[in-house]
Amino acid sequence: MNIQKSLEQFAQFFLYQAMFSALPNSFPNIRELRIQTAKWKRLIDQQARNMDTAVELANLRALDRILGGDVATFKKERVRKGQLDAQIIQQGRHIKRLTEKSFKEHLKKEWPKQGKKYTRVEFRKWHNDFELGIKQSSRELLSRAERSRTLLHSK
**pLDDT of amino acid 120:** 95
**Residue 92 forms part of a structural domain:** yes
The pLDDT value recorded for residue 147 is: 82
Q: What angle do CA 11, 53, 69 make, to 5 degrees?
A: 140
- Terminal-residue alpha carbon distance, the chain: 31
pLDDT at 6: 85
In this prediction, residue 148 carries a pLDDT of: 80
Residue 27, Cβ density class (10 Å: 0-12 exposed, 13-18 middle, ≥19 buried): middle
The tally of CA atoms less than 13 A away on the side-chain side of residue 1 is: 24
Q: Could you give the number of structural domains in the chain? A: 1
Residue 5, pLDDT score? 84
- The answer as to whether 9 is a domain residue is yes
What is the structure's pLDDT at 3?
77
Q: Does the residue 101 lie in any domain? A: yes
Contact 72, 52 (CB under 8 A): no
- Confidence at residue 102, expressed as pLDDT on a 0 to 100 scale: 97
Q: How confident is the model at residue 17, as a pLDDT?
A: 95
Task: Give residue 55's pLDDT.
Answer: 59
> Tell me, what's the pLDDT at 75?
74
Q: 155 in a domain, yes or no?
A: no
- For the stretch 76-108, what's the b/e string if a residue is b when 16 or more beta carbons lie within 10 angstroms of its beta carbon? ebeeebeebbeebeebbeebeebbeebbeebbe
Residue 154 is assigned to a structural domain of this protein: no
For residues 141 and 14, is the Cβ–Cβ distance under 8 A? yes
Residue 142's domain comprises: 3-149
The answer as to whether 65 is a domain residue is yes
DSSP class of residue 114 equals T
Mean pLDDT in consecutive groups of 10 residues from the start of the chain, 155 residues: 83 94 95 97 88 64 65 73 92 97 96 94 96 93 83 63
